[in-house]
Structure 1
Amino acid sequence: MDRNIRTVDDVLTLLDGLFARDADRWTADAAEWWDGFYADRDKPVPFFVAKPDENLVTYAERGLITPGRALDLGCGPGRNALHLASLGWEVDAIDLSPAAIAWAEDRAREAEAKVRFRCADAFALTDGDLAELGGPYDLIYDSGCFHHLSPHRRISYLAFLDRALAPGGHFALTCFAAGEAGKVGMGSEVPDAELYRQSRLHGGLAYTAESLRWIFSDDGLTEIELRRMRDEPAESSAFGEPFLWTALFRREAQSS
């Protein structure tokens, strides 16, 4: 007979197990699935292109963010990390998948870019790990990680932001957008409770603008911009798909 629930972490681990048949989990044992996903670098996946997100490009162009210490969370093949490095940021980038990190490192060598890549689970990083990496950060950028989290892991995500984002720093993300005016987006719109009944995340979760504001704006974060990603043509130097939200928040600076 097991009586193994004593802490919040014990509860989160138990809930992780409910999605054991689902590949889309933000846990260390998902690395093998993601390695398979990144194994074929020629696969026609939109975000495999070597282009930064168009919203990230505009943040810098408009002066909304200025170079400092940045963390690319769930960096994949490293396209946004390389862009930040080219702008003068000191960049760390982490991902669960060794295959993704290897690809990102190859791109960095080709571009002669200085980025520190690490294969890691962000939720398992200790304060010492963060200090070793270079945190806390002036910018945490997440392009497509958050929408693969199971609902209970939003708690872990917010706790990570609280530890890793510097006062006055910016947090930005892109994630699946829920359908508007009858047009369904690419992410699942199944309610949170039903996800647990089905033990599936359906390839990623869609969010409304209101749900993103509810999750993040009451955590010491002020919304700077929240909009759909612009649709970028193939010849563009930036990546853009309109089925994604882009959001930029700023953490309150500590009072003197």
Structure 2
Amino acid sequence: MTGRDVRSVEDLLALLDGLFVDTPKWQDFYGDRDRPVPFFAAKPDENLVSYLERGLVSPGRALDLGCGPGRNALHLAAAGFSVDAVDLSPAAIEWARERAGEAEVRFLCGDAFTLELGEYDFVYDSGCFHHLPPHRRVSYLSLLDRCLKPGGHLGLACFAAGSMGSVVPDTELYRRGRLEGGLGYSEDSLRWIFEDLTEIELRRMTSEPADSPHYGVPFLWTALFQRT
């Protein structure tokens, strides 16, 4: 044995993961259900509701990435989708299963990049992408290549640069060893990252009042892309 750490791409990605000291502790985050966090409520994202109401996305097989307590997964199931929902946090998955009741959602606890997943007509991500370090965008795009069917859609909600997420350049993030609470993206950067997909819609999330049945905050981008 040489004491070396890297022999494969996955070894390299894991080594880079370890450079960041502020990786969110999702078990602790979801462990306290009484925290006054708006998206803890069982409300689907307003853009997701809009996609379905306008017929931009039709029922099929769906994957909810970073599902948390299951608010969007449950909305998809109620709309007629067959849903797999993935989160790293056992506390989040436990909460989601309690919420689900008899709803037909398969909740999976683990790393979506390494789990054995199938192919999907719709992949939805509300809040996972902006917590990934830059090198994990490679893993994310590889996941889409494996899991998103031709003609399928990716729905995304993520921090907008200058409103919520960090605008620190990628190289500086590695120097600091911090994700700064999440990464903010511009329209151009999202279009560049997902340039192999066709853009259907890219806009800010609509602000929703506290008594709305939907979740909406204006510091998030919402995007809908299609694999052609």
Q: Provide runs of 4+ in structure 1 moved above 2 Å.
A: 1-7
How far the C-alpha of 1:23 sits from its partner, in A, is 2.3
What TM-score, normalized to structure 1? 0.87
Structure 2 residue 214 is the aligned partner of structure 1 residue 231: no
Task: Kindly provide the amino acid, as one letter, of the partner of residue 3 in structure 2.
Answer: D
The answer to which structure has the higher helix fraction is 1
The aligned residue for residue 155 of structure 2 is 172
The aligned residue for residue 14 of structure 2 is 13
DSSP 3-state at the match of 2:18: helix
Structure 2 residue 78 is the aligned partner of structure 1 residue 86: yes
How far the C-alpha of 1:49 sits from its partner, in A, is 1.2
The aligned residue for residue 135 of structure 2 is 152
DSSP 3-state at the match of 2:98: helix
- Name stretches of at least 5 consecutive residues in structure 1 with no aligned partner: 25-32, 180-184
The aligned residue for residue 224 of structure 2 is 248
Structure 2 residue 223 is the aligned partner of structure 1 residue 222: no
Give distance in 1, aligned partners of 2:4 and 2:103: 50
DSSP 3-state at the match of 1:116: strand
Structure 2 residue 100 is the aligned partner of structure 1 residue 122: no
Alignment partner of 1:43 out of 2, 10, 35: 35
Give distance in 1, aligned partners of 2:107 and 2:6: 35
Task: Kindly provide the amino acid, as one letter, of the partner of residue 46 in structure 1.
Answer: P
What TM-score, normalized to structure 2? 0.97
The aligned residue for residue 22 of structure 2 is 22
1:106-139 per-residue CA deviation (whole Å, 9 max, x = no partner) reads 1101xx31111010101112xxx22xxxx20000
Q: Is the 8 A contact 2:166 2:180 kept in 1?
A: yes
Give distance in 1, aligned partners of 2:91 and 2:119: 26
RMSD: 1.0
Alignment partner of 2:174 out of 189, 196, 202: 196
